A and B are shown apart, each in its own frame.
Chain A
Amino acid sequence: MPKLTIDGRVIEVAEGTNLIEAARQAGVAIPYFCYHPYLSVVGQCRICLIEIDKQPRLAVACATPVADGMVVRSETSDRVREARKAVMEFLLANHPLDCPVCDQAGECLLQDHSFDHGLDTSHMLETRRTFAGLERRMLGPHIVQNQNRCIHCSRCIRFTQEISETAQLTYKARGNGVYVDTYDGTPFDDPMSGCTADVCPVGALTVKEFRFRKRTWKLRSVPSVCPGCSIGCNVWIDHHEKVVYRLSPRENAAVNATWICDYGRFLAESLNRHEVLRPQRQIDGQLQPVDWADALASLGEVLDTASSLRVVASANLSNEELFLVKTLLGGARRADIVVPVWTGEQRRMKNGSGAWLQSLDAHPNAAGARRLGLRLVDHGGLARFLYGAADVTVILDPLAHPFLETDEATQLLRVGTTIVFARLEHPVTRLASWLLPTPSLACNEGTFISQTGAVQRFAAALAPPQQSRPLWSILMALGGELATEELPLRSPAEVFAHLVQTEKGFAGLDWETLAGTTDTAQRERYHGG
């Protein structure tokens, strides 16, 4: 492997690595705009200029592969610092500098690099070039374009050509008047259009749904996994003061590189929706609030005395929750448990090696249910299951399958006692004998297994609203009420540790090192940058 020196630091990196990545490994940050680790290298922004010993001219780090014995200087070279100042001045010659009203501020590479590498003056006396009519327009259903801010890095264009493969974006015109547009101004309806705003280093492309809703420096990010389908894209939940503002991609080369599809991205708002907020019990045909202690005690009795018990679990639940269900209800209580799955709409994602992943079903954790040995059923299987008789039925997630919304299903569930855990109003919440509030993914923690078999951890961004409690915590409390030996577990981490001991499919895994615990400081690398 080639060994080289960058700003005095000696490092050995793999053959073919470019100098930006080599420097990153050596702990030296070389600035860049047009370079992106998952896009082709074009070398057009020129801010990554570096000095290489024995080469008369400065070189661009992004397009220079490492060589053995290379001596590279970045910020330690006067020539490099001068050159970067000049590049910054050119880039800012026409940039509007409207940072106070620009939504990209705070995660803008131009802002960051200007601060680190730029001048605080300019030779420009001329007026700035502007694009009439392109200052604030909808490029597509989700993307707002302000061409005046564009620095012509071509990342968005390369994204549609190389990653989403729709090739919808192009440069038009030439020279000073170059702008980004679609063919004949048709709407930019790429299914991954939001990613073009992610890769945009400036505020030229922004996402309509997030624009002006929150200053980015106020956001806190928590690592999570997209609940939209079985692919299991890694995401950040960006939140502030108990509100989820957006989902943004979290790097994972094996799954989603640094991308997420628009469907997944815009699930963010749904994570804020909580309609069932307190435990309730059906009394005289009406759902009446009860308190948790009473509810749990009564439910313990209902479950203990049930002559036959059936459970509709869900592939939206975490492995920890499914395991608790399997142990507490399936074990001594001999509950009949099914996990309904359905294909839903086909989603796809491109991983870091450029291969498309096609979603198998509409849930994030069908693979987990399968690995825990639970019985997966399709539409027909679920219908047959519900046509069977049982004393007590437990619905752990009304959104487990669309069949549960049908009149047919609700008719079947009117028989016997029905215990429903839910977050949103739903036909089955109305007929529940007991209704217990569970919060969204944003308030939960645990693990999902992606369709390719990766066990991925997600963390809780928010506290559950009002009286709702994550399912795992309800199940654990319920375990205390049940007349079986207690599971001495108090958190998903402890459940997971127990899982690793008892379930073959989880042997050898460690909660602490599961995908999902990446360093949050790394995020600037692929987001905004």
Chain B
Amino acid sequence: MTTRPIVSEPAENLCEVTFDSKLEKRIADTLKQYPTPRAALLPVLWLCQDRYGWISPGVMRAVAQRLGENPAHVEGVVTFYTMFRTRPPASYVLQVCRTLSCAMCGGKELAEHLTTKLGVGFGERTPDGLFELHAVECLGACGSAPVVQINDDYYESMTPEKIDAVLETLTRKA
């Protein structure tokens, strides 16, 4: 499995945002599927996070303008959901499950291993900007606990050895 790194747009490019034609088309298609523009806010934000890697205040304003909402409302929504990123992420975002099933199957040790291995605490990133570590609640894959989600991919039945190998591959690719 090859997890693709997140390519995030630097903050200085996202102060004033104009959607390119490809993103504009995806937004227009999305809007067609919802009764009101407001209802399409979450999917449109996902499209933007997909495109830019994160959601800057400039992106929020552009989305608000596109949907006819106030930027304050969009920011309220973005900050409510923890999965929307409000600052540029590292290339690989590691989310370690710490809920019961994973914790009992070695997730706790796995999480500790990762903090030592990467030398960062939860919510922090490595100095080279490659990895970012988060402790999260149930990822819905208890059958193959413990689970680590890296970007959009699940790495299941992990052990410290297995995760070391994964990290090594990802580092080499970068």
| Chain A interface residues toward B at CB < 8 A | 166-174, 181-184
Contacts and interface: CB of A to CB of B under 8 A. Distances in A.
A181 B73 CA distance: 10
B137 to A, nearest CB: 13
B79 A168 contact: no
Contacts of B98: none
B76 A171 contact: yes
B134 interface: no
Contacts of B81: 174
A183 B72 contact: yes
Nearest to B77: A170
A168 B70 contact: yes
Contact of B60 (A168, A171, A182, A184): A184
B75 A173 contact: no
A173 B79 contact: yes
A307 to B, nearest CB: 65
A171 B70 CA distance: 13
Given A183-B60, A184-B57, A167 B70 contact: yes
Q: Is the interface of B mostly helix, strand, loop or mixed?
A: helix
Sort A-B residue pairs by CB-CB distance and give the 3 closest, nearest first: A170-B76, A167-B70, A183-B71
A172 B79 contact: yes
A182 B57 CA distance: 12
Contacts of B57: 183-184
B79 to A, nearest CB: 4
Interface residues of B, number: 15
B125 interface: no
Contact of A184 (B73, B75, B80, B82): B75
A183 B74 CA distance: 8
Contact of A168 (B64, B72, B74, B80): B72
Contacts of B60: 183-184
Contacts of B75: 170, 172, 181, 183-184
Contacts of B70: 166-168, 170, 183
10 contacts: A166-B70, A167-B70, A170-B75, A170-B76, A172-B75, A172-B79, A172-B80, A183-B72, A183-B75, A184-B75
A184 B71 contact: yes
Given A168-B70, A183-B74, 10 more contacts: A166-B70, A171-B76, A172-B76, A173-B79, A174-B82, A183-B57, A183-B64, A183-B75, A184-B61, A184-B75
Interface string B96-133: 00000000000000000000000000000000000000
A173 B76 CA distance: 7
A181 B80 CA distance: 13
A29 B80 CA distance: 35
